[in-house]
Amino acid sequence: METAVYTSLELFQSYQGVFSTAAGQIVLEDLKRAHHLYSSLVRDDGGPIDPMQMAIAEGERNVILRILAILQTKESDYDTI
């Protein structure tokens, strides 16, 4: 099966379509909370840091940052050619 390829504009419009709804905002807020956007990746108890767990948590956090970065752009930021 061949993977579909979308333009940057199509992706932007799709992200906007999903996350501009009330349900999308609820899901986005849940993702922010669940994937470390509001919390530190360092343990509060002062115990040793597990590098693998930190790498996983940072990866999760980066997904949320990508979504937010796309949502903060404007349609005019994308080529429409």
* Residue-number span of the structural domain to which 69 is assigned: 8-75
Assigned domain for 68 exists: yes
Say how far apart CA 3 and CA 67 lie, in whole Å: 21
Assigned domain for 1 exists: no
Q: Is 47 helix (H, G, I), strand (E, B) or coil?
A: coil
Using an 8 Å Cβ cutoff, are 70 and 8 in contact? Answer: no
Assigned domain for 71 exists: yes
Question: Over 80: is that where the pLDDT of 81 sits?
Answer: no
Structure tokens given for 46: 């002062």
pLDDT in tens, 15-47: 999 999 999 999 999 999 999 888 877 767 778
Using an 8 Å Cβ cutoff, are 36 and 60 in contact? Answer: yes
DSSP 8-state assignment for residue 7: -
Assigned domain for 81 exists: no
Mean pLDDT of 64-77: 94
Number of domains present in the structure of the chain? 1
Using an 8 Å Cβ cutoff, are 58 and 41 in contact? Answer: yes
Assigned domain for 15 exists: yes
